[in-house]
Structure 1
Amino acid sequence: MPQSGGGLDVRLAAAFAAVAGDAPALVVGMDTPQLTARTLAEPLAPAARSGVDAWFGPASDGGFWALGLARPRAELARRLLVGVPMSTSVTGAVLRERLDQAGLRVATLPMLTDVDTVAEAAEVAALAPDSLFAACWRNVSSRSLSDTAVRAGAAR
């Protein structure tokens, strides 16, 4: 489905609106490559979903990496998301407060680190050493170190 216009808050709300219904929906940030199916298997299993209205995955930088709604509705998604300041150190806290104010029973997913910086890329690659992300990181890192050594040698 094509992405809607607007800021990330509006686009996320539109995504939930597009799948409104009685089936659960979960959006996951693409910058958490250490996420595995196992991380989500237990909290999203049918037995664990009973009595849960929403899922919230906090990120270590104060944002969030996942948001799920048991029964997504366009109006609820707009109330929860539109106006939340995105990509700030308080994004997750603001969203979590809105989930609580909406009276939703929220299951909190594990805290993950999303990749926004070089340091976070190295950290996440170390957390998931067998992942494709880690392999790519090792390749980029080794090339970068090699290029740095070549430049340092040429400067002498």
Structure 2
Amino acid sequence: MYKKMIITMFILLGLLLICSPYLKGGIIAYLSKSQSKSALTVEQLKKNNEREAEFEFDSIEPPDLMEAIKAGFDHDQKAVIGRITIKSVNLELPIVKGTTNENLLIGAATMRPDQKMGEGNYPLAGHHLKQKSLLFGPLENIKTGAQIVITDFKKDYIYS
């Protein structure tokens, strides 16, 4: 009886380990798409942008399954301040204020507290994972001169 339970438990644990990259990818894809398509108003985005944000460069690590699950429950919709779109590589991600592990699992994170859309360079950080369709993965296929559009939903800013 106990042998069957232990064997079953090891089989389930093995299946979980085998499937964990796919589960993590699915969670991250859901987070970035749900935040990208969320119905935030221009006024909400303006308030989000006025909030203080954290910039935790030293604590950034590649995400694991547990971190993706945690981000699914703890993500902060109040961090979303815009969207980045690069049609040539089929990339569309929310822009979130602050560089934290949680924000990097949702989309493109701002890198400085003082940066403003449309004023000079607008540096963004993002994860590149093994699944080329997730987060910044599509950038592997970008060509020089590609049109990059960032928006605060009030105005579009076009970069090349």
TM range (shorter): under 0.3
* TM-score where L is the length of structure 1: 0.23
Q: Which structure's relative contact order is higher, taking Cα pairs within 8 Å and 6+ residues apart?
A: 1
Query: If the length of structure 2 is used for normalisation, what is the TM-score?
Result: 0.22
